Amino acid sequence: MAQVFEVVTKALPVILLILLGVFLRRMQIIKRSTVDDLKKIVVNIALPSTLFLTFAGTVFQSNFLWIFVCVFAVCILMLLTGIGFRKIISPENRYYPALFAGFEAGMMGYALFTSFFGAENTYKFAVIDVGQVVFVFFVLAAFLQSQGGAKASVGKLVKGFILSPIIIAIVLGILAGSTGLFAAASVYPITGAFTDTLKLLGSMTQPLICIVIGYELQLEVKNLRKPVITVLLRMGILIGLAFLLNTLLIDRALHLDKSFQLAVYTMFILPPPFVIPIYMGESAAKQKPLVLNTISLHVLFSLIAFVVLVSIM
């Protein structure tokens, strides 16, 4: 019980920041457009700053490629699973399979993982994230666009991936770290000031993310049956897959430390990507409530599951 209390206490700042987001929406202190701008700051500036420093200070290992491939394969498997469950749970909603695939790492996962395991371990979560980022950009985006009647352009998908600030930050960070350039440049005052600036920008990530989550957390209590079923099915399957991935790959094959296993579990209990509603076509007005309700409910379930996970492990 003492351990659970300690974990809950450590999670309290995150919870309070999310509640602050709810308060800001209820009191109409900030507008929706302001929240959209905050998300742009997180995705384009704050999170990339954190990821660059994370990978620049890490020696990249070639065996991480196996993690990328396996996480990508899990996302594909989950999308196919969602297609199967759609026929049973929500045959009228063509976007339903997307609720089983991908993870909201950028706007939730990094904040949770870093708050408990420290910035020095962020790269471990980022390693788990790369495979699902590739999936979201190339597979999930194409699937959602096709369901809306639009033809997914391969060139456009590739361009979006290459120009993503998150991908750019990861690639530059890996290059700077693996070549020793970052370590060599860090001894100079001017580059030290640059690093400190990135640290300050990165420190905005967690509070901004939590406020945005709270602001966008809205549930329609009358229509929770399908979202509850969907969230429980998704989390149940993914926790099982996380156990297999940790046992067979992270532990037995790669012999990585336990914090990598925690990173896998953290990733796999996260809600589906928040960009799903954005990719849905204008004709999806009747189908959006189920998607939004499921994502919002999953946020709450993920927070509870994360507290339980940290308490157990």
Q: What is the pLDDT of residues 265-305, one digit of tens each?
A: 999 999 999 888 877 766 677 888 899 899 999 999 999 99
Q: DSSP class of residue 180?
A: S
Return the closest-CA partner of residue 139 out of 85, 101, 167: 101
CA atoms within 13 A on the CB side of 202: 21
Q: What is the dihedral of CA 208, 210, 212, 213, to 10 degrees?
A: 160
Residue 15's pLDDT band, with cuts at 50, 70 and 90, is confident
Of the chain, the percentage scoring pLDDT greater than 70 comes to 96
CA atoms within 13 A on the CB side of 54: 25
Those residues with Cβ within 8 angstroms of residue 227's Cβ, 6 or more apart along the chain or in another chain: 290, 293, 294, 297, 298
pLDDT of residue 111: 86
pLDDT at 249 over 90: yes
pLDDT at 24 over 90: yes
CATH assignment, 2-312? 1.20.1530.20
- The per-residue pLDDT for range 146-187, each reduced to its tens digit, is 887 666 677 888 888 888 998 899 889 989 888 888 888 877
Q: What does the chain come to in residues?
A: 313
For the entire predicted model, the pTM comes to 0.88
40 and 100 Cβ atoms separated by less than 8 Å: no
Residue 221's pLDDT band, with cuts at 50, 70 and 90, is confident
Average pLDDT over residues 226-253: 97
Residue 2 Cα distances to 5, 12, 23, 255, angstroms: 5, 15, 30, 31
51 and 169 Cβ atoms separated by less than 8 Å: yes
pLDDT at 4 over 80: no
pLDDT of residue 67: 97
